[in-house]
Amino acid sequence: MDHLDFYNAHKDTPVVLKPLPDYDIESQVKWILTGNGYHWVELNCKFDVEAWQQDATAAKEYYVPHRDESSGEGTHQGWESCVLHGLGTDKTNDWRTYVQGKEPDYNWTELGNKTASIKSFFNETFPAERYARIRFMKLKAGGWISPHNDYTPMITERNIFDWPLPVNIAVDHPNECHMTLKDQGCVPFSNGKMFLVNIFNDHSVVNNSTKDRLHIIAHCYLGSRKQEFMELIVESYKQQHEHISSQV
């Protein structure tokens, strides 16, 4: 199934969100993150989107193709990326692509040091102790990302907090750009919104607009800020559930 067939097959699926079980907070978060109750969760975490858009102008010369057709990971068009925090501005894939053995240390790149507002947010505001990759993810006007998933059998409910959790943030998101999940509809992205998305499920993106779509994906190690993060996701989930329930 190509990106258009996938979008048309799943775009109108109604959103169904299960009520949060009466567990302890860590069990609630594991329940959410392992896909029992969510397809995406909008995180109640604000940032200055205009400042981030201004920061993004520094990235123009750094973009490289991401997962192009030659990678064997499907056909995509207009998908580009560059790295603010990681192994280098052009090292957009998982560290295993570039290094054998132990996971290396990550640092702010030349580009990351030019994006003061974004760097400050992740260093001081967001509830994570440290980060793996933080990347600009661009999808050009008219571009698409083929249906795929990021499932790995290594991640389980038992060890999920030991892995870098990916947060997807809309910096400049055209109305006619849609991220679709299999049997789950479209993620309601707009400028300034931040989501945890269940990327273990098949998903695809189509940019039907005449404007580039720009997101940031940050891979977050919670570490000493795990409790803050758990409180953030549980409160965000509760608010999202109440909002959807009130519209039924």
| Segments in the chain below pLDDT 50 | 70-72
Distance between CA atoms of 247 and 224, rounded to whole angstroms? 37
Q: Would you state the structure tokens that stand for residue 112, as one six-digit string?
A: 């990351």
Tell me, yes or no, if the pTM score tops 0.85. Answer: yes
Q: What is the 3-state secondary structure (H, E, C) of the chain?
A: CCHHHHHHHHCCCCCCCCCCCCCCHHHHHHHHHCCCCCCEEECCCCCCHHHHHHHHHHHCCCCEECCCHHHCCCCEEEEEEEEEEECCCCCCCCHHHCCCCCCCCCEECCCHHHCHHHHHHHHHHCCCCEEEEEEEEEEEEEEEEEEECCCCCCCCCCCHHHCCEEEEEEEECCCCEEEEECCCEECCCCCCCEEEECCCCCEEEEECCCCCEEEEEEEEECHHHHHHHHHHHHHHHHHHHHHHHHCC
pLDDT tens per residue, range 112-146: 999 999 999 999 999 999 999 999 999 999 999 99
Q: What is the pLDDT of residue 178?
A: 97
Q: What is the pLDDT of residue 145?
A: 94
pLDDT tens per residue, range 85-110: 999 999 999 999 999 999 999 999 99
